[in-house]
Structure formats: C-alpha cells, structure tokens
C-alpha cells in the first residue's frame, strides 16, 4: 500500500498507524522523496510503499497453493488460523480430488507444507491442511471405530489388527484408547504400512489376532499368489521325474509352504510383539 506525506519519516509513521503494524513486521520501499531547494526548504513529496513481511504461515500458504496448481487442481489455499498450529484450508469444487482416498492426498500436501514451513527453524511448528472440515470428521469416525474394536478385542480376548494408517490417524486411535481399562494399543510394521494393534489386558495367548483391516486388496493379493483365477496353485501337470506335483510346486517347496504358513495370520505371527 502506498502512502504520501511531507517527509519519508512522517509518511512511514502515518502508514504504520493506519496499518496497525510495527517496523519489524513490514517492508518499506521509498518510491519518491522530497529534495532540498534554496535555503534548505524541502520541495516535492514523499511516497512510500509499505508491505507486511511474509511470515512462515504466508510462505506455507503460497507453497500449498503452488502444489495444487502443479497438480492442476482447481482449489484455493487460505490461511485460517495462526498461533501454536498453522491451519491452511483448501476450497475446491471437486473436494474428493483434494482429499483423496481416506485423506491420502490431503496428508501428502500437509506433510510437504510442514516440511517447507519448518526449514531452518529450531522449534517445529505444526501445519494442518484441511478441506471441508475433513480432519474433524475423520477423527470422529476413528474414535467410534476405536471404541467398537475395543469392545470386540475385550469380548474375544484376541488382539485386533487395524488397517495401515497415517501417523496422524494412528495417534487418534492411541489417544482414544489411552484411558481404556480393558485394552492397550501399540503400533507395528513399517511405513507406509504401519498399523495399530489393540491388545486386550485379558488376552488369550493361544488365539490368533483378529484382522479388522482386511479388505479387497488383501484378497486380491492372495488371488494373485494362488487364487482361483490363474494362480500358481492351479498349475496342472508335472514332469516325469516328479519335480512338480499337481499344485505347481515341487514337493519340497510344498512342504516348506505348509510349514511356514502354520501359526501365521495375514503376515502377522503371534511371536511378533
């Protein structure tokens, strides 16, 4: 914003009062200044441009806007909260493209924004990227899920394995059950397949875990390894020397496969703590 006055100093002072800012928070550009004439009298006027300095929050918003522009998503990033956490809200016509499956796109943008906003800083400041209040809605859903599975784990006396989640979502599950009197929680696995396990206090040590996160992707992976359609288990025929049996495995391999699969539940054995 430009301000006009008799002197540069007076113009800056008036500009700061109008903008309710201090010199530490502004950038000043002197566009025009008066000159001294005869007998020391000043001629002309002072024209000063005063801009508020870009904060880390402002830079984070610009960064997020740049990401969604590169992704060619018709959305606008706006800073909606300053303070302990920085919250950037995305507004778009097609919110599903911004949020992604269970928030995957939103989480990715948030991770990048947090990294960019904290470059060179000693103290980490959390950056939250939200769209259509998705974060609160998802948190409510996960809390209800945690409570439902807490009851299931308690009744069955079996560990309950949830599907892989982001650190943000796993934290919600842990917090929701942190004061439970019947179960505890832990995280297992490696990113991005890290998941939460709900462990009943009165656990039956001989029972297999109950996998609450099993979905079609798990079944598809099993089909590709040996399902009804084109799996290796349907390989017919064998060599005369007996190296292959009807299943398509050698006899030794078939024995090893049977041995290794015993006591294993969807890749999570009971000995894994």
Q: What is the pLDDT of residues 143-173, one digit of tens each?
A: 999 999 999 999 999 999 999 998 889 999 9
Domain count, the chain: 3
Pairwise CA distance, residues 166 & 197, whole Å:
14
Out of 98, 132, 166, a domain closes at 132
Out of 132, 155, 175, pick the residue that ends a domain. 132
More confident residue, 59 or 138: 138
Whether the pLDDT of residue 245 is over 70: the answer is no
pLDDT band of residue 217 (cuts 50, 70, 90) is very low
206 sits in the region (left: phi over 0; alpha: psi -120 to 50; else beta) called alpha
CATH number of residue 258's parent domain: 3.30.1370.50
Average pLDDT (234-249) is 39
pTM of the predicted model as reported, rounded to 2 decimal places: 0.62
pLDDT value at residue 134:
95
Mean pLDDT of the chain: 79
What is the pLDDT at residue 164?
Answer: 94
The domain in which residue 144 lies consists of 139-263
Same domain, 156 and 209: yes
Question: Residues 122, 147: one domain?
Answer: no
Do both 214 and 164 map to the same domain? yes
Residue 73 DSSP one-character state: -
* Residue 164 sits in the same domain as residue 106: no
What is the arithmetic mean of pLDDT over 46-69? 89
Q: Is the pLDDT of residue 1 over 90?
A: no
Q: Are residues 143 and 254 in the same domain?
A: yes
Q: Predicted confidence band at 273 (pLDDT cuts at 50, 70, 90)?
A: very low
Residue 201: its pLDDT value, please? 97
Phi-psi group of 251: left, alpha or beta (phi > 0 → left; psi -120 to 50 → alpha; rest → beta): alpha
């Amino acid at each position: 914003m430009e301000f006009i006055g008799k002197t540069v100093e007076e113009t800056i002072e008036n500009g700061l009062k109008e903008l309710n800012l201090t010199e530490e928070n502004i950038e000043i550009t002197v566009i025009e200044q008066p000159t001294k004439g005869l007998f020391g009298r000043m001629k002309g006027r002072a024209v000063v441009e005063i801009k508020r300095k870009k904060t880390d929050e402002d830079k984070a918003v610009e960064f997020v806007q740049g990401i969604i522009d590169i992704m060619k998503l018709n959305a606008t990033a706006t800073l909606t909260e300053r303070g302990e956490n920085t919250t950037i809200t995305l507004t778009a016509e097609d919110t599903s493209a911004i949020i992604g499956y269970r928030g995957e796109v939103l989480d990715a943008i948030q991770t990048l924004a947090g990294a960019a906003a904290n470059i060179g800083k000693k103290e980490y400041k959390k950056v939250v990227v939200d769209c259509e209040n998705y974060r609160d809605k998802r948190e409510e859903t996960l809390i209800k899920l945690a409570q439902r599975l807490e009851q299931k784990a308690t009744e069955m006396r079996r560990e309950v394995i949830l599907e892989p989640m982001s650190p943000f979502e796993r934290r919600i599950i842990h917090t929701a059950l942190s004061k439970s009197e019947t179960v505890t929680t832990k995280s297992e696995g490696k990113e991005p397949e890290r998941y939460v396990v709900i462990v009943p206090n009165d656990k039956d040590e001989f029972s297999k875990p109950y996998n609450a996160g099993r979905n079609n992707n798990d079944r598809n992976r099993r089909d590709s390894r040996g399902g009804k359609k084109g799996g290796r288990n349907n390989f017919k025929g064998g060599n005369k020397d007996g190296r292959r049996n009807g299943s398509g495995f050698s006899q030794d391999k078939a024995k090893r496969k049977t041995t290794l699969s015993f006591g294993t539940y969807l890749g999570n054995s009971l000995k894994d703590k």
